[in-house]
Amino acid sequence: MSFPAEVSLWACLGLALLAAIWDARSRKIPNWLNLLIAIAALTFAVLSGGWATAGSAAIHAVIALVLGAGLFAIGFIGAGDAKMYSATAFALPLPSALPMLGWTSLAGFILLVGMLATRWMAGKPLRQDGKSFTVPYGVAIAGGLWLTQLS
């Protein structure tokens, strides 16, 4: 991998980590941060595999955005999560879509179990004022991107 491709990959991974921290603290992921992730990810796709790889990654990102918008519409995930997943998908060509989804799902499951266990051990209710607690899924998305890139 060339030095510029490596720099853009680390920028993408670093920005995803920043988004995860932001989401964990505020349960929001700013649009400007998702845009920076998408730019770094697409730059990585172009520099590491050329325009064909970037095109495949763009298809992956569009599919992720459409599916994420559907999940947002039914209240399953937040809009920032849908946009973040799509932005990170620009770093991965279409054949990497299922590994990314698998790693993200595993990271999300571990995150959820950890949050439930922490609340249970602290004696906090799972529902408060008729609302369930929220999961900062940006953490799982960042984890999924990191694990997909490192595997």
The dihedral built from the CA positions of residue 57, 23, 115 and 143, taken in this order, carries a sign that is positive
CA distance 12 to 9: 5
Give residue 126's pLDDT.
73
User: Does the model's pTM come out above 0.75?
Assistant: yes
Buried b (16+ CB within 10 A) or exposed e, 81-111: bbbbbbbbbbbbbbebbeebbebbeebbeeb
Give per-10-residue mean pLDDT for the chain (151 aa). 92 98 95 98 96 97 97 92 97 97 97 91 77 86 96 88
Task: State residue 128's pLDDT score.
Answer: 65
Measure the CA–CA gap between 132 and 47, rounded to whole angstroms. Answer: 43
- Sorted by where each begins, the domain ranges of the chain are 3-150
